[in-house]
Amino acid sequence: MAKNVSSKSSKKKGTKAPDARVATAKSSEVVVLIMAGGKGERFWPKSTASHPKQLQKIYSNRTLLEETVRRARLVASPNQIYVGCNAELKKTIQKIHPELKLNFVVEPMGRNTAPIIALAALQLQRKHPGATMVVMSADHYIDPPAKFKETLKTAIRAAKDGKLVTLGIVPTRPDSGYGYIQKGKPSQAGVFNVASFKEKPDPRTALGYMKKGYLWNSGIFIWSLDTILQEFGAHAPAILGPLEKAGNSSAALKAAFPKVPELPVDIAIMEKSKRASVVPATFHWDDVGSWTALERIVEPAKNGLTLVGPKSQKMVQKDSANSVVVSDKKLVALLGVEDLILVDEGDVLFVAGREKLDGIKGLLKDMKQNPTLQKYLQ
């Protein structure tokens, strides 16, 4: 059971000089870009190269992508929802979810978030000129939907006035895995100017940020297509220019994409823009970053045991506590253990100590070097 909880103008060839005026949305349309290109390695063995985390059922009977599409439909019609990913993943998504009838923005290769957002903005501007764009990640947990919709509507109103909006999450713990946002003065009801962005801090600094009322950066963005393209022209012409010049040519895009700077949109645009704004969220949010995230999403059973999957619900345990157990097909019996992560998936049984879970990427790296083990990563 899920918890109900949280300018200077460029003169480079191929890049349009940004309009010095504040851009306001020319259309009432809302389009959504769902970022679905992540590898999800920290959710191995359920998440693999061919079927990453966003295509897995992690905390419900729907895939994370399906959950995200349902949220996107709160503010956009199906034909205004796009998924950003590579060509191979596009084929896999269409095979798994033909019923969603998704549109796609296909990136030739992963180059972090700024290039795919710029590419999507260019393509969507041609199809939905002047629309407001909402950027979501395919693998977040958000509840309740009504509060999410309410927060988004506030952000969309600000975006129509030329703001670049991110949704800020009220921290529930001093987590060093997130970027933080310092709120500035309010600009309109429920919307604040961003005073500063803070990169992922050490635990002590994170605690200080939390005490000062800083917000987590959710990675959910809202802006008009006009505004974000102007800001790319002003702050990241090395990204926008080549993509704009490539136009609708697949060959030109394939040649240009590997050469654009590999940057997150936070650094490429948000931290440089004077239009950056934040709307504090009123919903429970989690980035579902690792197996321990399930403890914040799924109601724990006795002794702090978090059980996910049909067989986990029938688990046998004695003198065991504070562990995450994920099993779809095998009965799990625990005796006298604590602080374990146990995931049974196909031919793999993954068992980790809670304190060592951050080392999972190192484990997968070692497995990649062994030809006999590579099949378990695909």
Q: What is the structure's pLDDT at 142?
A: 98
9 has a pLDDT exceeding 90: no
In the structure encoding, which two tokens stand for residue 41, read together?
Answer: 């390695």
User: In what helix (H) or strand (E) does residue 239 lie, and over which residues does it extend?
Assistant: helix 237-246
Confidence band, pLDDT 50/70/90 cuts, at residue 308? very high
Supply the pLDDT for residue 8.
35
- If pLDDT is split at 50, 70 and 90, which confidence band does 5 have? very low
267 DSSP 8-state letter: I
pLDDT tens digits along 322-349? 999 999 889 999 999 999 999 999 999 9
CB atoms within 10 A of CB 21: 8
Give the confidence band of 313 by pLDDT, cuts at 50, 70, 90. confident
Q: Taking each helix axis as running N to C, give the angle between helix 113-127 and helix 225-235, from 0 to 180 degrees, rounded to the nearest 10.
A: 140
Give the number of other Cβ atoms within 10 Å of residue 145's Cβ. 14
Strands (E), 23-171: 30-35, 81-85, 103-106, 132-137, 141-143, 164-169
Query: Residue 18: which pLDDT band, with cuts at 50, 70 and 90?
Result: very low
pLDDT band at residue 24 using 50, 70 and 90 as cut-offs: low
Q: H or E element: which one contains 317?
A: strand 316-318
In eight-state DSSP terms, residue 293 is: G
> Residues 190-199: what's their mean pLDDT?
97
**pLDDT tens, 232-289?**
999 999 999 999 999 989 999 999 999 999 999 999 999 999 999 999 999 999 999 9
The DSSP result for 153-188, as a single string, is HHHHHHHHTT-EEEEEE--SS--TTS-EEEEEEEEE
Short-list 271, 247, 257, 269, CA closest to 116: 257
Q: What is the pLDDT of residues 79-127, one digit of tens each?
A: 999 999 999 999 999 999 999 999 999 999 999 999 999 999 999 999 9
Query: 25 pLDDT band (50/70/90 cuts)?
Result: low
**What domains lie within the chain, and their CATH numbers?**
30-287 (3.90.550.10), 300-377 (no CATH)
Task: Give 287's contacts (C-beta < 8 A, 6+ positions apart).
Answer: 137, 139, 140, 141, 178, 218, 219, 293
Q: Say if residues 178 and 200 touch (Cβ distance below 8 Å).
A: yes
Q: How far apart are CA 293 and CA 314, in angstroms?
A: 21
Given a contact cutoff of 8 angstroms between Cβ atoms, the answer to whether 81 and 73 are in contact is yes
Tokens 């709307």 correspond to: 279
% of the chain beyond a pLDDT of 90: 88
List the one residue out of 285, 42, 63, 257 whose CA is nearest residue 166: 285
d(CA 97, CA 136): 18
Quick one: average pLDDT of 189-210? 96
* pLDDT single digits (tens) 54-78: 999 999 999 999 999 999 999 999 9
Instruction: Work out the average pLDDT over 143-171.
Output: 98
State residue 302's pLDDT score.
84
Look at residue 156 and tell me whether its pLDDT is greater than 50. Answer: yes
Three-state DSSP class for residue 144: coil
Q: What is the pLDDT at residue 314?
A: 83
